[in-house]
């Protein structure tokens, strides 16, 4: 995913590291606006040998692809003090958490966040986790997602006499948690009760980590729109997950890929609507809140297509295996005569491998990608600027010269990437270039936390495949069907069919819940 783009729907002027006012070096590409959350609670009698702040920091680094604007870590000693330890800042995780910051963050439990803004500007005031001081001590919150009814919820909070200091929907969640549900809670903190009240007020989209003095609650919205999973750090020498008591720490993360980098084992996904509690005594489910409409969950299908790291596991299968399967489906749906198969790196590569295996055509790399060019500012109107996204890539001429090539990418959004790449490959001698896209045409905006441009900006709303092929200089162009994508996701899924469902709103225009924007 590209670090370059960031726009916020709700807030003031974005003046952050990659804010709206920053001149763009390259035209925008792809989808943006995710966030990553990571939490850790040391197991057993505190203090332990577990360096919780380090674990959270490393966990966040493994989630860096989900957000690159700002990050933060909040820890607690768990001894009932008035304050948490907090460090937040703009930019990449490795630039924010230096030795001094890590020293201050020592604690027995902690949560962290890495952000792509959706609901307020990319500025330090909106960095997460948020901390609020309540009648029952400090509370901290990290949120991935975007509330579909934020406007209405904001009005309710104002009506109860509460002011908010930012435009962030995540701050809105913290204040909503502080409000007593109707009937009150008799002066008790009862965070699980307040979380359930919040879930009744807003259906989606959120995966939340909420930390009080000595525990972390993990919450996935009833539609399971954003991912969340549990892991366990086991003592050395313990095989697999060991026994219930074999735990050095419990961890919770947006994606399971982060467990490998901290030596933790994947336990399971948090279920749609589930509220889990992580404490020094272990993990337990407190409740599972159902969907008001009684329908299926609505997990963002683009987590498989593009957002998540290929080694992350959802529904018992890696994202990589789903992408490979979607490549196989793509060949079955739209075969083409060619000599070689290749991909637009990075996210298109797994599907290209699947396409190659199914078709029997050899896979060959034909492009090198420069990951650093995105942040270089080049004066507009220069000759170099006109190269557009081709500046990101170099062609491997001897691999393509004289060849009929099928080039696979995972998605087309604005259509800025594919045209310059085809030109690059033709200049390198490719005889034919056939484009196959491992997801259906994107036609509708997303209101669940992803920055899908306006309908006018989405190239699939302007050009049918044959016209788009002509526009970008391809010999042919075909997308995977919605059914084909869902079948690819279901192919290796270990979850029961009746327990899983996917949001495909940006492809079909069918939104999981009524929107109030």
Ligand X SMILES: O=P(O)(O)OC[C@H]1O[C@H](OP(=O)(O)OP(=O)(O)O)[C@H](O)[C@@H]1O
Ligand Y SMILES: NC(=O)CC[C@H](N)C(=O)O
Is 127 marked within a binding site?
no
- Binding partner at 34 among ligand SF4, ligand X, ligand Y, none, C-beta below 5 to 8 Å by kind: ligand Y
Under the criterion CB under 6 A, does residue 302 sit at the interface with ligand SF4? yes
Least spacing, CB of residue 488 vs ligand SF4, in Å: 14
Size of the site for Mg ion (CB under 5 A): 1
Residues engaged in binding ligand Y (CB under 6 A): 33-35, 115-120, 126, 128, 143-146, 168-170, 449
Under the criterion CB under 6 A, does residue 297 sit at the interface with ligand X? no
- Reference 199, options 215, 217, 229, 177; nearest CA is 177
- Binding partner at 168 among Mg ion, ligand SF4, ligand Y, none, C-beta below 5 to 8 Å by kind: ligand Y
Least spacing, CB of residue 18 vs ligand X, in Å: 13
Query: In which residue are the tokens 């590409």 written?
Result: 29
Residue 351's H or E segment, with its range, is helix 349-359
**Closer Cβ to ligand SF4, 259 or 502, answer by number:** 502
CA distance 187 to 166: 27
CA distance 56 to 71: 11
- Binding partner at 503 among ligand Y, ligand SF4, Mg ion, none, C-beta below 5 to 8 Å by kind: ligand SF4
Is 347 marked within a binding site?
yes
- Binding partner at 139 among Mg ion, ligand Y, ligand X, none, C-beta below 5 to 8 Å by kind: none
CB distance 35 to 143 below 8 Å: yes
Please report, as residue ranges, which positions from 363 to 422 form the binding site for ligand X (by CB under 6 A).
409-417
What binding mask, one character per residue, do residues 228-267 give for ligand SF4 by CB under 6 A, x or -? ----------------------------------------
Least spacing, CB of residue 257 vs ligand Y, in Å: 17
Task: Give me the sign of the Cα torsion angle 405, 32, 392, 390.
Answer: positive
Instruction: Transcribe 376-425 into DSSP letters.
Output: ----TTSTTGGGGGGGGEEE-HHHHTT-EEEEEES--SSSTTHHHHHHHH
CA distance 183 to 161: 18
Cβ atoms within 10 Å of 6's Cβ, excluding its own: 26
Name the token pair of 360: 């029997």
CA distance 377 to 310: 30
Q: Annotated catalytic sites, by residue?
A: 35
- β-sheet with 404-409: strand ranges across: 340-343, 404-409, 432-437, 476-479
What binding mask, one character per residue, do residues 339-378 give for Mg ion by CB under 5 A, x or -? --------x-------------------------------
CA distance 369 to 339: 23
Is 483 marked within a binding site?
no
- Binding partner at 415 among ligand X, Mg ion, ligand Y, none, C-beta below 5 to 8 Å by kind: ligand X
61: phi then psi, degrees, rounded to nearest 5: -60, -40
Residue nearest to ligand X (CB): 30
Least spacing, CB of residue 215 vs Mg ion, in Å: 40
Is 87 marked within a binding site?
no
Under the criterion CB under 6 A, does residue 32 sit at the interface with ligand SF4? no
Under the criterion CB under 6 A, does residue 506 sit at the interface with ligand SF4? yes
CA distance 207 to 111: 13
**Closer Cβ to ligand Y, 88 or 143, answer by number:** 143
CA distance 160 to 201: 14
Beta bridge partners of 409: 437
CB distance 224 to 288 below 8 Å: no
Residue nearest to ligand Y (CB): 35
CB distance 93 to 57 below 8 Å: yes
- Binding partner at 420 among ligand Y, ligand SF4, Mg ion, none, C-beta below 5 to 8 Å by kind: none
**Closer Cβ to ligand SF4, 60 or 301, answer by number:** 301
**Closer Cβ to ligand Y, 117 or 258, answer by number:** 117
CA distance 292 to 194: 18
Under the criterion CB under 5 A, does residue 144 sit at the interface with Mg ion? no
CA distance 513 to 147: 11
Beta bridge partners of 139: 132
- Reference 33, options 4, 64, 6, 3; nearest CA is 6
What binding mask, one character per residue, do residues 422-461 give for ligand SF4 by CB under 6 A, x or -? ------------------------x-x-x-----------
Least spacing, CB of residue 96 vs ligand X, in Å: 23
Cβ atoms within 10 Å of 285's Cβ, excluding its own: 12
CA distance 438 to 401: 25
Task: Give me the sign of the Cα torsion angle 309, 312, 316, 320.
Answer: positive
What binding mask, one character per residue, do residues 315-344 give for ligand X by CB under 6 A, x or -? -----------------------------x
Instruction: Please give the annotated binding residues, written as ranges.
Output: 300, 347, 409-410, 446, 503, 506
* Positions that interact with Mg ion (CB under 5 A): 347
Chain positions contacting ligand X, by CB under 6 A: 1-2, 29-30, 306, 344, 346-348, 409-417
Q: Which residues contact ligand SF4 (rule: CB under 6 A)?
A: 225, 300-302, 446, 448, 450, 503-506
């Amino acid at each position: 995913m590209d670090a370059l783009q960031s726009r916020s729907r709700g807030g003031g002027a974005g003046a952050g590291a990659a804010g709206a006012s920053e001149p763009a070096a390259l035209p925008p590409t792809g989808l943006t606006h995710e966030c990553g959350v990571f939490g850790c609670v040391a197991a057993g009698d505190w203090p332990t040998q577990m360096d919780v702040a380090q674990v959270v920091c490393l966990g966040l680094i493994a989630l860096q692809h989900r957000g690159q604007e700002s990050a933060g870590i909040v820890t607690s000693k768990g001894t009932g003090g008035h304050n948490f330890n907090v460090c937040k800042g703009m930019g990449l995780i490795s630039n924010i958490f230096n030795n001094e910051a890590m020293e201050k963050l020592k604690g027995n439990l902690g949560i962290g966040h890495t952000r792509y803004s959706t609901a307020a500007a990319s500025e330090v005031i909106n960095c997460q986790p948020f901390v609020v001081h309540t009648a029952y001590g400090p509370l901290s919150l990290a949120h991935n997602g975007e509330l579909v009814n934020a406007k209405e919820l904001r009005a309710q909070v104002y009506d109860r006499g509460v002011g908010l200091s930012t435009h962030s929907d995540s701050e809105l969640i913290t204040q909503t948690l502080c409000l007593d549900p109707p009937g009150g809670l008799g002066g008790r903190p009862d965070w699980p009760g307040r979380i359930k009240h919040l879930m009744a007020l807003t259906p989606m989209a959120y995966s939340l980590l909420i930390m009080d003095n000595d525990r972390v609650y993990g919450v996935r919205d009833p539609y399971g729109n954003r991912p969340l999973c549990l892991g366990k750090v086991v003592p050395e020498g313990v095989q697999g997950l060991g026994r219930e008591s074999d735990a050095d720490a419990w961890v919770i993360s947006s994606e399971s890929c982060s467990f490998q980098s901290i030596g933790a084992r994947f336990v399971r996904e948090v279920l749609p609507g589930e509220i889990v509690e992580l404490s020094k005594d272990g993990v337990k489910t407190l409740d599972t809140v159902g969907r008001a409409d009684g329908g299926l969950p609505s997990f963002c299908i683009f987590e498989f297509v593009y957002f998540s790291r290929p080694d992350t596991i959802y529904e018992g299968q890696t994202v990589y295996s789903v992408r490979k399967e979607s490549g196989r489906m793509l060949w079955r749906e739209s075969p083409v005569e060619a000599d070689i198969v290749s991909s637009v790196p990075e996210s298109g590569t797994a599907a290209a491998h699947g396409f190659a295996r199914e078709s029997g055509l050899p896979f060959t790399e034909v492009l090198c990608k420069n990951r650093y060019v995105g942040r270089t500012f080049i004066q507009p109107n220069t000759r170099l600027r006109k190269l557009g996204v081709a500046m990101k890539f170099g062609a491997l001429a001897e691999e393509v010269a004289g060849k009929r090539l099928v080039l696979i990418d995972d998605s087309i959004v604005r259509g800025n990437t594919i045209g310059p790449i085809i030109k690059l490959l033709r200049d390198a001698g490719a005889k034919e270039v056939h484009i196959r896209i491992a997801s259906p045409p994107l036609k509708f905006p997303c209101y669940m936390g992803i920055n899908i441009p306006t309908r006018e900006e989405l190239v699939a709303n302007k050009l049918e495949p044959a016209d788009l092929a002509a526009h970008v200089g391809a010999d042919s162009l075909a997308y995977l069907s919605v059914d084909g994508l869902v079948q690819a996701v279901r192919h290796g899924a270990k979850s029961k069919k009746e327990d899983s469902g996917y949001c495909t709103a940006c492809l079909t225009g069918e939104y999981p819940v009524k929107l109030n924007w």
